[in-house]
Amino acid sequence: MRTFIAVVIASLTALAALAIAQPTVPDVPFHDALRGTAPLDTEPKPPLMAPTENKDVIRGLNYAQQPPTIPHKIDNYQVDKNANRCLACHARSRVEESGAVPVAISHYMDRDGSVSGHLSPRRYFCTQCHVPQADTKLLIGNTFVAVEDIRQQPASKKQKR
């Protein structure tokens, strides 16, 4: 019984010593892909904004269900409750003359899934989901592969279990 009590007391003493021990600070400064080495209690100087791409080339997706990006400049486009400049080219009635990608049919559905003849109010403000791009260095890596691009191995190469 005494040895049991001695073991319990020794364990509690060791745990108490660990609890009051000071945390160690690594010698290497913390580095975050978005903040760099700036301490969390400071505001780092933001990088210069890169110019917007204006290539009119449709980019691939970076993740599943990603809204397509805008492949051209949209500076000074009016997109508010009074007007939507995007629809001058992307409205289904205008795509034949503009050559632009038409607004997806999902943008004509209400929240109950009913399709109407006009753009749904919840899909009216294009830049809520669609954004222009800049040709810059990636801040973080991405290994996303679209389902269509995943190729199955031939049956002869599959491992037998």
Q: Is 72 annotated as a binding residue?
A: yes
CATH of the domain at 65: 1.10.1130.10
Dist CA 35 CA 18 (whole Å): 32
The predicted model scores a pTM of: 0.61
In a domain, 19, yes or no: no
Q: Which residue has the higher pLDDT, 124 or 23?
A: 124
Domain residue limits at 99: 59-144
CB 67 within 8 A of CB 130: yes
The full DSSP string for 33-59 is TTTBT--TTS-PPPPPPPPBP----PP
Q: Is 129 annotated as a binding residue?
A: yes
Q: What is the pLDDT of residues 31-83, one digit of tens each?
A: 777 788 888 888 888 878 888 888 888 888 888 889 999 999 999 999 999 99
Q: Is 126 annotated as a binding residue?
A: yes
Residue 6 φ then ψ, to 5°: -65, -40
DSSP reduced 3-state for 155:
coil
In a domain, 3, yes or no: no
Among the residue ranges 48-52, 141-145, 157-161, the one predicted with the least confidence is 157-161
Query: Which amino acid makes up residue 78?
Result: Q
Q: Is 90 annotated as a binding residue?
A: yes
pLDDT at 156: 55
In a domain, 121, yes or no: yes
In a domain, 129, yes or no: yes
Structurally, how many domains does the chain consist of? 1
pLDDT at 55: 86
- The closest alpha carbon to 123, from 135, 134, 111, 137, belongs to 111
Dist CA 79 CA 119 (whole Å): 14
Mean pLDDT of all residues in 122-138: 89
In a domain, 41, yes or no: no
Mean pLDDT of all residues in 9-33: 76
Q: Is the pLDDT of residue 95 over 50?
A: yes
Calculate what percentage of the chain has a pLDDT beyond 90.
Answer: 32
In a domain, 157, yes or no: no
In a domain, 84, yes or no: yes
In a domain, 99, yes or no: yes
Q: Is the pLDDT of residue 27 over 80?
A: no
Q: Is 87 annotated as a binding residue?
A: no
